[in-house]
Amino acid sequence: MSTQPLNTWIQIPQNSDFSIYNIPFGVYSDDTVKHHVCSAIGDYIIDLFELERAGLLQVNREVFDKKYLNNFIKLGKSKTKEIRLKIQSILCDEKSVLKTDLVFQKKVLKKQSAVTMLMPVKIGDYTDFYSSVDHATNVGKMFRDPENALLPNWKHLPVGYHGRASSIQVSGHSFHRPKGQQKPADSEKPVFGPTKLLDFELETAFIIGKSTQMGESISTQKADEYIFGMVLFNDWSARDIQTWEYVPLGPFLAKNFASTLSPWVVTLDALEPFRTKGYEQIPQLLPYLQYSGNKNIDIKLEVLIKPENATETKVCESNYKYMYYTMEQQLAHHTINGCNVNVGDLMASGTISGPESREFGSMLELTWRGSKPLKLNDGSERKFINDGDTVILRGYCQTNNGIRVGFGECSSTVNPAKNNN
Ligand code: CA
């Protein structure tokens, strides 16, 4: 990677996701602050409202006193980029008032463990893609034809559907096991009850950084101008409900009961040094989907399951570089018909699986539809996710010389189904 070396005066633990090269954005609250936009460095959050109150960022302070990042993002990428660089330079400046004035420092730098991270963006519309070739192949093998796993359209366009934003929550939340219709293989009629096949989906998502008008399309070349940054995303799914309901219009209640977002938005600028080559795309795509250069990103991804009162077990190690379609292609496809996008819209990758069985991004694939249960550290087995389980996604980029840019955690816990009918 070709980034200039940066030296900060702040002590950063080794393997911290929040190195000086990251500087992500989020929103926090604590006993004294209702909601302020913040960044992160090492174990600390950086209160950007307070930093600006001292005149250090030279931007309308109001954008930092908001519940969501949307107004900040609307400043435009050239401005938010400038602010990110300014924060980096303050953190590297030995003479900075943030270093020398300890009273001020205490107001600005707060331990991450002492604050609550809030939903980073007000999500308008949520779209979920299906762009991992290894995932789509696994699912096709299981549910359709092992010889012809991919449907005819798959290698010609990034398949996607419109999801629901209302039930997307920030990391740390818990939710009920969903109920719904399922049709057991040995039954003529559907039955009703809590899902028996609750699953995670290891995904990332990008957040739209610039709105378009109806009728406008975004090219693959210009797409990065419209992407503010990325988050980790767990697109919770109820497989038994999904199998019965999805024909012919696609996923519905199997998906919209809960999804989990990581609180830090890592900017495309921070991820740029980790761009890498993706899968070769054969057959050749239509011109509007073609792109040049390295547009994939080497983001190491992990999933861990933590049963109630037990330690966590890592069950999956995947990588964002396995995506067949890039974010730029997804956005070009999404808007090729003139569909408008808005700041704060969320576009999820789809489950990210790699070619090896340890790299599969869902329990459906890891246990091959429940036929090969996983053993956890506490001795228990899982075919799917149990009540009381916490599922944790982690993701980070790292160079050989240890420069790291990460997302932190995306974690959520399953409660028993609600007993109201
Ligand atoms: Ca999904």
pLDDT tens digit sequence for 197-255? 999 999 999 999 999 999 999 999 999 999 999 999 999 999 999 999 999 999 999 99
Structure token pair of residue 198: 């609750």
Residue 406 C-alpha to ligand 1 middle, in angstroms? 22
Read off the pLDDT of each residue in 157-164 and give the average, rounded to a whole number. Answer: 97
Q: What is the pLDDT of residue 2?
A: 53
Residue 202 C-alpha to ligand 1 middle, in angstroms? 8
Read off the pLDDT of each residue in 262-266 and give the average, rounded to a whole number. Answer: 98
Domains and CATH numbers, the chain: 26-117 (2.30.30.230), 126-419 (3.90.850.10)
Residue 92 C-alpha to ligand 1 middle, in angstroms? 40
Residue 130 C-alpha to ligand 1 middle, in angstroms? 7
Burial label for 283, CB within 10 Å (0-12, 13-18, 19+), is exposed
Distance, CA of 142 to chain centre: 26
Q: Which residues are catalytic?
A: 135
DSSP 31: S
Read off the pLDDT of each residue in 359-386 and give the average, rounded to a whole number. Answer: 98
Residue 59 C-alpha to ligand 1 middle, in angstroms? 37
Q: Which of 117, 122, 123, 111 has its CA nearest to residue 35?
A: 117
Residue 127 C-alpha to ligand 1 middle, in angstroms? 9
pLDDT at 418 over 90: no
Residue 32 CB partners (closer than 8 Å, separation 6+): none
Residue 162 CB partners (closer than 8 Å, separation 6+): 125, 126, 127
pLDDT at 1 over 60: no
Residue 259 C-alpha to ligand 1 middle, in angstroms? 9
| Contact indicator for 234, 200 with CB cutoff of 8 Å | yes
Q: What is the pLDDT of residue 60?
A: 93
In the chain, pLDDT over 90 holds for what percent of residues?
A: 96
Read off the pLDDT of each residue in 130-151 and give the average, rounded to a whole number. Answer: 95
pLDDT tens digit sequence for 265-290? 999 999 999 999 999 999 999 999 99
Structure token pair of residue 373: 């249960």
pLDDT at 421 over 60: no
Q: Which of 190, 210, 385 has its CA nearest to residue 303?
A: 385
Task: Tell me whether the omega of the peptide bond preceding residue 287 falls within 30 degrees of 0, making it cis.
Answer: no
Read off the pLDDT of each residue in 385-405 and give the average, rounded to a whole number. Answer: 95
pLDDT at 174 over 90: yes
pLDDT band of 3, cuts 50, 70, 90: low
Number of H helices, E strands in the chain: 10, 26
pLDDT band of 297, cuts 50, 70, 90: very high
Read off the pLDDT of each residue in 33-47 and give the average, rounded to a whole number. Answer: 98
Write down the pTM of the prediction.
0.97
Q: Where are the alpha helices (DSSP H) in 74-200?
A: 77-92, 97-100, 102-108, 133-143
Q: Which pairing describes strands 179-182 and 191-194: parallel, antiparallel, or unpaired?
A: antiparallel
Read off the pLDDT of each residue in 363-387 and give the average, rounded to a whole number. Answer: 98
Residue 346 C-alpha to ligand 1 middle, in angstroms? 12
Q: What is the pLDDT of residue 401?
A: 84
Residue 307 C-alpha to ligand 1 middle, in angstroms? 23
What single letter denotes the amino acid at residue 128? Answer: D
Residue 335 C-alpha to ligand 1 middle, in angstroms? 20
Residue 129 C-alpha to ligand 1 middle, in angstroms? 7
In the chain, pLDDT over 70 holds for what percent of residues?
A: 99
Q: What is the pLDDT of residue 211?
A: 98
Residue 203 C-alpha to ligand 1 middle, in angstroms? 7
Q: What is the pLDDT of residue 420?
A: 63
Kindly state the helix (H) or strand (E) to which residue 128 belongs, with its residue range.
strand 126-129
For 168-199, b where at least 16 C-beta lie within 10 A, e where not — what string? bbbbbeebbbbbbebeeeeeeeeeeebbebbb
Read off the pLDDT of each residue in 158-166 and give the average, rounded to a whole number. Answer: 97
Residue 86 C-alpha to ligand 1 middle, in angstroms? 36
Read off the pLDDT of each residue in 299-323 and give the average, rounded to a whole number. Answer: 98
pLDDT at 49 over 90: yes
Average pLDDT over the chain reads 96
pLDDT at 306 over 90: yes
pLDDT at 47 over 70: yes
| Contact indicator for 392, 306 with CB cutoff of 8 Å | yes
Residue 200 C-alpha to ligand 1 middle, in angstroms? 9
Q: How far is the C-alpha of 254 from the C-alpha of 390, rounded, in Å? A: 19
